[in-house]
Chain A
Amino acid sequence: MLSCAPAAAPHAPLRWGGDAEGGAPFVEADPADPSKVRGFDVEIAQMIGKGLHRDALFVQVAWASIEASVERGDFSIGMSGVEDRPQLRARHAVSIPYFEFREVLAVRFADSARYRTLADLSGRRVATLGGTGAYQMLLDLQPHAGPIPISYDDDVHPYSDLVSGRVDAVLLDNIIADRSLRRAGGFYIQPVPVATGHYVAVLAAADTALRDSVNAILRARMRDGSLEKVFRSWHVWEAGQAEHFARVLADSGGVHPAGAAASVRSVRSYLPALLRAAGITLLLSCLAMLLAVTVGIAVAAGRVYGSPLLRAPLAVYVEIIRGTPVLLQLFVLYYGLSGFIRLPAFVAAVFGLGLNYAAYESEIYRAALQAIPRSQLEAGRTLGLSEAQILRLVRGPQALRLALAPMTNDFVALLKDSSLVSVITVVELTKQTAIYATNVGSWVVPGLLCSAIYLAMSLPLSRLARRLEKKWRAV
C-alpha cells in the first residue's frame, strides 16, 4: 500500500459513481465520518483505483441514474449494486460480474407456507425496486397471471409495507432482504431463490480499454483472495460465491455474449404501458382536482363567511399546506400515518395531491368571492334570497368565472405534479417513462414520447378553458 501511494500521485483520480442512499453493505455514509463512504463497493472501487495507480474519488449519484451518468462522463465507473442484464450490456461497457446474488422472496410469517414461489403469488401485490431486474421479471410475468408488480424508489419501504400488509411479498436481492431482516425483521425469507443475478461495474460504451483493465484487476483480486476478504468483512460471502468466482476465472474471454443478442425494445412495445400510465396520471389528476375544488370551495366559504373560530384553523391549514413540500406531505400521508390508517397508494396519492391543491384553490376562490361587487349581494338580499342562496346562485357562479383561469393553471400544474406520487409506489406517466428510459438506456425517445403525452393531456384542457372564458366574457 505504501509502495502504491507515490505512484498514484501523478495520475488524475479515478472518479467512480454510486448511491450512498442505497446504504450498507454496498455504499453508505461512514457513521464515523459522514463525509466519507464505506461498503464493499467502496472497497472494490479503491481496489481498482490502486490497481490503476489512481486515487478512487467517490461521486454521489441517484441509483437509477448511474448508467446515464456514466455515459455522460460524470465519472468513469458506476458501482453500487448495479445488476448485470442484457440491456445494460447492449448500451454500456460492463465489467465481469464480481458478485453473485440471489433474488429472494420475502413474505409475512403467516404466509411462509402459502407463498413459496412467484407462481403462488398470482394476482397478489409483490413489491420491488423500480428499474431492477426483479421489477422487469415481475413485469414480464404479469400478463401471464403473474403477481402485480409494485415499484418503490427505495429498498426500506417495500419491507415495512410487507409487514403492515400493503403488499404480500417483496422480491429483491438477498443482500437487501437480509439487511432489512436484521434492521426491522417481522418477515420471512424463502430459502429457495427465485433467480440469481450479478453485480457489475458499468462504464461508458466507448471505454472498453478501461473496462479491460478493470476486469484484469478484478480477476487478480478473485485469484489472490482479497475480493473474498472484502465480501467476508461485510458478511455477504457465501459458499456459492467461490463457485461463481471459479466460473468467471474459467471464462477466459471475460465478456458475456449476452450484449449482442439483447435488442432494444421498440417504441411500439412500450407505448401501451406509457398510455396506461398516462391514464393513471389523468385519473389521478382529475380525482385530485375534484377533491381540491370541493375542499377548496368549502375552505374559501368558511374563511369568507365563517366565524373567527372557524376562520383561524382554516387559515392555519392553508398556511401549513402551502408552506411545506408536497413530497413531504405524501410521505407523511402514506408512510407516516400507516400506523393509524393504511391507505392504498392510489388513494393516498389522490388525498395527498388533492388536499395540497385544495389550499391553493381555496385562496383563488377566496379572492374571487371577495372580488364580487357588494351591490350584487345587496341586490340578492333585497330580492329576499338567503345568504346561502346568494352564495350558491349569485356570488359563487360569478366567482367561478373569475377563478377559471387560475384554476386551469393549477390543473395543468397538478397534472405534472402528479409525477411526485411515484415515491409512494404509484407508477404514473413519468415513472413509467423513467423505467422505459432505464431499459432502453436513453432518455431521448422516452422523453419525447412522455412530453407529447403530457401535452396531449394539458393542451386540450387549456383550450377548453380559453373557450369557456371567451364565452363568459362575450355575454
Chain B
Amino acid sequence: MTQALDVRDVHASRGPHQVLRGVTIDVAPGEICALMGTSGAGKTTMLRAIAALGPFDSGSIVVDGFTLHPGQVPPESKLRVLRRSVGMVFQSQSLFEHLTVMENVTLALVHALGWTRERAETEALALLTTLGVAHRVGSYPRQLSGGEAQRVAIARALAPDPTLLLLDEPTSALDPARRGSLGEVLRALAAEGHALLISTHDVDFAEAYADRVAVLAKGVVVEEGSPRDILSDSMHADVRALLRSPSAEPPQ
C-alpha cells in the first residue's frame, strides 16, 4: 500500500556531529505515529528533514509520492508538491505575530492556493470550530493561552488539507487536561485519513493516543511497535529509563 510517509535509512549531521545514523520510519494514512526519544535524540532533525527545512546526507524520504533527495534543501519553487502534502506544527507554534487568528489560518489558503478570502474564511472558521477556538478569530497570537495557540497552529497547518501532519513536541506547553483534549483532536484528524507523525517525550500521551511508537536513541530507531508493547512491557530497560526520567535529559 502507499504510505503517507516513507523514510529509508536517513543519515543527517549538524556540523561534525552525526545526528541521524540510518533512520527508517513509515506512517500510513489514518495512523498516529509517535517519534519518541530524549532531547538531542534527533527527533526535531528528523521532522525538519521531512518538512524540507533541513538537509540530510543519505537515504531517502518519500512523502505522498514526492521524493526528497539527500543534499541541500531544494529551492521553494521545486517543493510546491511537497508543501501541499505536509503540514507542520512547530514546538513554539510560530504563529504570525502580526496577524489575527483568522489571518494566520487563511494566509496560505489565499496566497498559496489562491482561494477567495470568503471561501478561505469559511474553511478556517469550520476548522477553528472543530478545534474549539472559533471564539478567538479576531485575537492576536500573544493574546492566546498556550493551549489556544497550539490549536490555532494546528488549524493553520491543517487548512491546506495536507496528507501528512508533523507535530513537534505538541504537549510541551500544555497541562494534563489540555493534553487529553489535544489527543482527542489528533485522533479525530487521523480518523479523517490524515497521517500524523508526532515527536514527543511524553510517554503518557504517546501511550494514550499513538497507534505506533518509534523510539529514537543516538540517531537510530531502537524500538518500534504498539505503545503497549514498547512502553508498558519494558522491552528495553535503557529506553524506558530514559523516557521515564522527569527531566527527559539523557544521562551522561
Q: Determine whether B119 belongs to the interface, using a CB cutoff of 8 Å to chain A.
A: no
Nearest neighbor of B87 in chain A, beta-carbon distance: A382
Contact of A397 among B94, B98, B140 (CB under 8 A): B98
Cβ–Cβ < 8 Å partners of B80 in chain A: 384
The answer to whether A382 and B142 have CB atoms under 8 Å apart is no
Q: Determine whether A261 belongs to the interface, using a CB cutoff of 8 Å to chain B.
A: no
Interface residues on A, range: 20 to 34
Cβ–Cβ < 8 Å partners of B113 in chain A: 384
Q: Determine whether A196 belongs to the interface, using a CB cutoff of 8 Å to chain B.
A: no
User: Which of A388-427 touch B at CB < 8 Å?
Assistant: 389, 393-394, 397-398, 401
- Which of B77, B97, B112, B160 has the largest number of chain A CB atoms within 10 A? B97
Contact of A375 among B94, B111, B157 (CB under 8 A): B94
Q: How far is the CB of A395 from chain B (nearest CB, A)?
A: 10
Q: Determine whether B67 belongs to the interface, using a CB cutoff of 8 Å to chain A.
A: no
The answer to whether B142 and A381 have CB atoms under 8 Å apart is no
Nearest neighbor of B82 in chain A, beta-carbon distance: A384
CB-based A-B contact count at 8 angstroms: 68
Q: Once bound together, how far apart are the Cα atoms of A394 and B99, in whole Å?
A: 9
The answer to whether A376 and B140 have CB atoms under 8 Å apart is no
Contact of A378 among B90, B97, B98, B143 (CB under 8 A): B90
Q: Determine whether A379 belongs to the interface, using a CB cutoff of 8 Å to chain B.
A: yes
The answer to whether B96 and A379 have CB atoms under 8 Å apart is yes
With A384-B108, A389-B111, A401-B98 known as contacts, the answer to whether A378 contacts B53 (CB < 8 A) is yes
B47-59 toward A: CB 8 Å interface, digit per residue (1/0)? 0000111000000
A445-475 toward B: CB 8 Å interface, digit per residue (1/0)? 0000000000000000000000000001001
The answer to whether B143 and A382 have CB atoms under 8 Å apart is no
Cβ–Cβ < 8 Å partners of A113 in chain B: none
The answer to whether B108 and A376 have CB atoms under 8 Å apart is no
Q: How far is the CB of A368 from chain B (nearest CB, A)?
A: 13
The answer to whether B76 and A381 have CB atoms under 8 Å apart is yes
Q: How far is the CB of A390 from chain B (nearest CB, A)?
A: 9
Cβ–Cβ < 8 Å partners of B160 in chain A: 383-384
Cβ–Cβ < 8 Å partners of B83 in chain A: 381-384
Q: Determine whether B88 belongs to the interface, using a CB cutoff of 8 Å to chain A.
A: yes
Q: How far is the CB of B60 from chain A (nearest CB, A)?
A: 20
A325-348 toward B: CB 8 Å interface, digit per residue (1/0)? 000000000000000000000000
Q: How far is the CB of B199 from chain A (nearest CB, A)?
A: 15
Cβ–Cβ < 8 Å partners of A384 in chain B: 80, 83-84, 108, 112-113, 160
Q: How far is the CB of B230 from chain A (nearest CB, A)?
A: 29
Nearest neighbor of A392 in chain B, beta-carbon distance: B111
A348-392 toward B: CB 8 Å interface, digit per residue (1/0)? 000000000000000000000000010110111111111101000
With A387-B76, A475-B140 known as contacts, the answer to whether A378 contacts B111 (CB < 8 A) is no
Q: Once bound together, how far apart are the Cα atoms of A169 and B166, in whole Å?
A: 76
Q: Determine whether B72 belongs to the interface, using a CB cutoff of 8 Å to chain A.
A: no
The answer to whether A385 and B96 have CB atoms under 8 Å apart is no
Nearest neighbor of B97 in chain A, beta-carbon distance: A398
Q: How far is the CB of B153 from chain A (nearest CB, A)?
A: 8
A156-170 toward B: CB 8 Å interface, digit per residue (1/0)? 000000000000000
With A386-B76, A475-B140, A475-B142 known as contacts, the answer to whether A378 contacts B112 (CB < 8 A) is no
The answer to whether B112 and A383 have CB atoms under 8 Å apart is yes
With A381-B83, A393-B107, A475-B143 known as contacts, the answer to whether A386 contacts B77 (CB < 8 A) is yes
Cβ–Cβ < 8 Å partners of B157 in chain A: 382-383
Nearest neighbor of A400 in chain B, beta-carbon distance: B98
Nearest neighbor of A394 in chain B, beta-carbon distance: B96
Q: Once bound together, how far apart are the Cα atoms of A398 and B86, in whole Å?
A: 25
The answer to whether A383 and B108 have CB atoms under 8 Å apart is yes
Q: How far is the CB of A14 from chain B (nearest CB, A)?
A: 70
Q: Determine whether B92 belongs to the interface, using a CB cutoff of 8 Å to chain A.
A: yes
Q: Once bound together, how far apart are the Cα atoms of A475 and B141, in whole Å?
A: 8
Q: How far is the CB of B236 from chain A (nearest CB, A)?
A: 33
What residues make up the interface of B, taking CB atoms closer than 8 Å to A? 51-53, 76-77, 79-80, 83-84, 86-88, 90, 92, 94-98, 107-108, 111-113, 140, 142-143, 156-157, 160
Given contact pairs A385-B108, A475-B142, enumerate 17 new A-B contacts (beta carbons under 8 Å): A375-B92, A375-B94, A376-B94, A379-B90, A380-B96, A381-B52, A382-B51, A382-B86, A382-B88, A383-B157, A385-B112, A387-B76, A394-B96, A394-B98, A398-B96, A398-B97, A475-B143
What residues make up the interface of A, taking CB atoms closer than 8 Å to B? 373, 375-376, 378-387, 389, 393-394, 397-398, 401, 472, 475
- What are 15 A-B contacts with C-beta separation under 8 Å? A376-B94, A376-B97, A378-B90, A379-B156, A382-B86, A382-B87, A384-B112, A384-B160, A385-B107, A385-B112, A389-B112, A393-B111, A394-B96, A401-B98, A475-B143
Closest 5 pairs between A and B when the two form their complex, measured CB to CB? A384-B83, A383-B108, A384-B112, A475-B140, A379-B94
